[in-house]
Every structure is written in C-alpha cells, then in structure tokens.
Amino acid sequence: MKFDNLLEQMKDRMPLKRWEHTKGVATTAVYLSEKYGEDLEKAEIAGILHDVVKFAHKEWLKEIIISEEMDPLLLTFHHELWHAPVGSFVAKNEFLIEDNDILQAIRYHTTGRAGMSKLEKIIYISDMIEPSRNFLGIEVLREKAEKDLEEAMISCVTHSLQFLIEKKQPVFPDSFHCYNDLIIRKEK
C-alpha cells in the first residue's frame, strides 16, 4: 500500500478485526478504481479513512454533529450512522484531507446518496464486499462488482435496504434517495 503510514495510524483507533477490514476496503477500492478508471490514491486514502471514528465515543460523535451543524436528522437514527459524516470531518481537520471527492466518499459510505460520484460508489461497494466480509449473497455482489459498477451499486444498496427492513430498522432517507437515483438513471 502506498499509504502504509496512514494505515498504521488507524491501528490505535480500532480493534484488529476492524483494522483488517480497513485494509481490505482500501485494497478493494484500489482494485475497483483500476478496473473502472478512478484515481487510485484517492480510493486508497478514502478506504483507509472510511472508519476513522467508527469506535469513537457516541457522545463525542453527537457533539461533533451538533457543533458542526451536520444534518440533525442523523441524531434520530442509530449512532452506527454517525461515524461516516464525523469521519469526513476528522479526515479534513485532523488528517488535512482537502479533496472533496475523498471527503464525500467517507461521508456517504454507510448510507449512499443521490448523485454519488464514482469514488463514492467504489468506497460504498468496497466496504460491503472486501475480502473479510462473509454473509449470504456476498459472492453475487462480488461478481457484480467484477462486471459492472452501476449494477454492483444497485445490488449493494438493495442488499443494505433489505437487511434493514428485515431487521425492522429505520432507513436513513439518503439510502432511499440513493436507490431511487440509481434506478432512475438506469432507466434513462
């Protein structure tokens, strides 16, 4: 990895299993970026930093959401969603990442959104299909990622929505907007 130093900095921020996941996301993101013509360095940085505050204290995440005037709707949803927008904030302010494409990829890696960039899609997909992930249907998602980025994105978002609905969990509106946008664009 080109950004080994950045990856090493993640070790103290997360358990070993999550660090392995982080390496997997970065590697998968670089692979998909090569395949689909995205900037490899941006993909690697976003992959490494996507879970930078995943294990931060819930109250601290909440404080950042409030102090930085992020979408207040976040606070009405499970705190698992909070690490993505706060992670984008930390990437910018602590790691001095100025590239908006990287910051957006980190910000929306859990929910997706309408109008996602190629990098955002790559990070979203990589987070779901990286090598350490193991769940029913993952091989289909990996096969789609090999063939078509847009189809893989639709399948990944659909999988995520179905999972949340089956668990009777609320779905953040950005995820529905993401799904609808992908389907509408596909029909055009």
CATH of the domain at 127: 1.10.3210.10
pTM of the model: 0.96
Q: Which domain holds residue 107?
A: 4-187
Q: Rounded mean pLDDT of 60-84?
A: 97
Under 8 Å between Cβ of 105 and 49: no
Task: Give the DSSP letter of residue 79.
Answer: G
Under 8 Å between Cβ of 123 and 148: no
How many degrees, rounded to 5, is the angle at CA 51 between CA 49 and CA 56?
Answer: 120
Give pLDDT tens digits for 27-68. Answer: 999 999 999 999 999 999 999 999 999 999 999 999 999 999
Give pLDDT tens digits for 1-29. Answer: 679 899 999 999 999 999 999 999 999 99
Q: Which amino acid is at 137?
A: G
Tell whether the torsion through CA atoms of 4, 132, 74 and 38 is positive or negative.
positive
* Residue 95 CB-density burial (10 A; 0-12 exposed, 13-18 middle, 19+ buried): middle
**Number of domain units in the chain:** 1
Q: Which 3 state secondary structure label does DSSP give 117?
A: coil
Q: Closest Cα partner for 122 from 52, 21, 18, 33?
A: 33
Give pLDDT tens digits for 108-123. Answer: 999 999 999 999 999 9
* DSSP conformation letters of 52-72: TTTTS-HHHHHHHHHHTT--G
C-alpha neighbours within 13 Å on the C-beta side of residue 91:
29
Q: Which residue has the tokens 């249907």?
A: 137
Helix H or strand E encompassing 74:
none
How many other C-beta atoms are found inside a 10 Å radius of the C-beta of residue 155? 21
Q: Which 3 state secondary structure label does DSSP give 116?
A: coil
